[in-house]
Structure 1
Amino acid sequence: MPKILKILQEDHRHHDILLSILENQVKDAHLTGEPDYDIVSAIVDYFLTYPAEFHHAREDKIYEKIVARDASAAEEIGHLDEEHEACEAFIKAFAAALSNVLGAGIITRSQFANAALEFIESQRRHIRMEESIFFPTALRVLTTEDWASLDAELSDTADPIFGSQKEGQFEALRQEIMDWQSTREPANDHVPGDHKLRL
């Protein structure tokens, strides 16, 4: 398995964990009245930065090589850049809803929950597409030389939550992840693989 693809698949597992925690926060808010806004804010900050600036950029490079190798295969995937733009639009919409809740804006609990759930579903839908169509197509179309070139271009940017250079602003979220993992069932319906992490 090419190094870049391993990183992207691991990213997807991490993203699914964060989406599950966010979903739990939104559902818990119906019972307690409020989610933990520190946790929610940290998840929003993460999705506004790492996936948008690094994860998607790496996928775009793979897609460019697929287009160069096999235009018909690229058509089967669809417009990945538009997919990524849609992902960013959903996280920005949810970030705006969160800002309204924390600031002086007017927003109902239902509107906030809907923005969160739309973001969660958009991300899961995107991950499913990439795992079932994009990545298999890339493995089928690209050559050993293509993957070597992509791996050589990889930056050493570390995931600020799950990577080796952990950022302090996400410390509370890391603790939430560990607490969540200690209580969850081992099965997961969104992305296959072992989600148990050491943070």
Structure 2
Amino acid sequence: MQYPVARRAVQTMVREHQRLSAVVNGMTRFVALLSAGAPAPEPMLMRAMLCYIREYPEQVHHPKEDKYLFARLRSRTDGLDDVIDELEAQHVAGEARVRDLERALTRYELTGYSAAPALRTLVDEYAAFYSHHRRLEEEVILPAALRFLTAADWMELDEAFGANRDPFSGSEIEGEMDRLFSLIVSTVSESIQ
């Protein structure tokens, strides 16, 4: 989606959504391989994907959306309250879904192929959940933010989201998340060739 005003916070949020989408797509490929009985990467790859989701979107991205973006929108209009309520509830539900995925992965690691269908179901549900969440944010919330937020609001959002430790920038602090994402992408790519 193209945004008429290039706001640093919007660019950061969209970039982070794209990165999370790549990880979620990797999860769906992983469980599809398991379900098909095809050679699949080691379960550690799925564990790395879940670690990425827990450490970045759940700990950095979503809390900033709640604290800055959603709060500012609530102060400027009440026409989005229902959507913001839904998104905030999804942020809480997302953490629970990740825990459920971790448990299902552990069951798969302990019992083998018989646990693969349950894991696939949870991954497919998470992928649909995340897709709906992302669409609401990018098609409803971000355009509304561009319409309703003030220059002062944008300064605060740009500063808050600009301070996000981007796991893909390669700095020493962010290097661990960068290496994790690279491992995920390269391993998933190799396994589907």
What TM-score, normalized to structure 2?
0.81
Would you identify which runs of 4 or more consecutive aligned residues in structure 1 move more than 6 Å?
104-107, 181-184
Aligned counterpart, 2:88: 81
- Cα distance change of structure 1 residues 107 and 49 upon mapping to structure 2, 3 Å threshold: farther
Q: Which is further off, 40-49 or 113-122?
A: 113-122
Which of the numbers 37, 42, 61 marks the counterpart of 1:36? 42
Decide whether the 8 Å contact of 1:77 with 1:133 is kept in 2.
no
- Cα distance change of structure 1 residues 96 and 176 upon mapping to structure 2, 3 Å threshold: closer
2:135 partner letter: R
Aligned counterpart, 1:23: 28
Q: Distance in 2 between matches of 1:170 and 1:95?
A: 21
- Cα distance change of structure 1 residues 103 and 76 upon mapping to structure 2, 3 Å threshold: closer
Which structure carries more helix by proportion?
2
Within 5 A, what are the aligned runs for 1:178-193? 178=186
Q: Which is further off, 118-127 or 33-42?
A: 33-42
1:151 partner letter: D
Q: Secondary structure at the match of 1:95?
A: helix
- Cα distance change of structure 1 residues 63 and 173 upon mapping to structure 2, 3 Å threshold: closer
How much identity, in percent, do the aligned residues show?
21
Query: Alpha-carbon deviation of 1:170?
Result: 6.5
Q: Distance in 1 between matches of 2:183 and 2:84?
A: 37
Stretches of structure 2 lacking an aligned partner (at least 5 in a row): 1-5
Q: Distance in 2 between matches of 1:172 and 1:54?
A: 16
Aligned counterpart, 2:100: 93
- Considering only aligned residues, what root-mean-square deviation do their CA atoms show, in Å? 2.9
Deviations along 1:121-175, whole A, 9 cap, x unmatched? 2111211111111111111111111101222334634233x23234447636514
Query: Alpha-carbon deviation of 1:57?
Result: 1.4
- Cα distance change of structure 1 residues 108 and 180 upon mapping to structure 2, 3 Å threshold: closer
Which of the numbers 133, 144, 165 marks the counterpart of 1:158? 165
Which of the numbers 67, 81, 89 marks the counterpart of 2:74? 67
Q: Secondary structure at the match of 2:64?
A: helix
Q: Distance in 1 between matches of 2:112 and 2:187?
A: 32
1:164 partner letter: G
Decide whether the 8 Å contact of 1:39 with 1:173 is kept in 2.
no
Q: Secondary structure at the match of 1:111?
A: helix
Decide whether the 8 Å contact of 1:66 with 1:142 is kept in 2.
yes
Q: Which has the higher contact order (CA 8 A, sep 6+)?
A: 2
Matched, 1:45 2:51: yes
Count of residue pairs brought into register by the alignment: 183
1:42 partner letter: A
